[in-house]
Amino acid sequence: MIYHRSPSGIFNPGIPVTHRDNEYGEAGFKTLLGMQQQHFWYRGRHRFLRKALDRFMPKARSQLSAIDLGGV
């Protein structure tokens, strides 16, 4: 997949991302959000990522509002 950098510095895929309802119904998003906010694994992962950003990209912390670490 080819990504293009926007003027704001965000890389976007050349092919727009669309939600595939047949693979994951929207009703599951609320459950997923709750898991990511409460489950120990996600909480630890989020702490690790915040510390890594602070260490390797200290100036970016105040500029970032989201980071996508997903895959295809």
For 39-71, write each residue's pLDDT tens digit: 999 899 888 888 888 888 877 766 766 667 766
Domain ranges in the chain? 28-59
CB 10 within 8 Å of CB 24: no
pTM beyond 0.85, yes or no: no
Share of the chain above pLDDT 70, in %: 85
Per residue in 43-56, is it b (16+ CB within 10 Å) or e — as a string? eeeeeeeeeeeeee
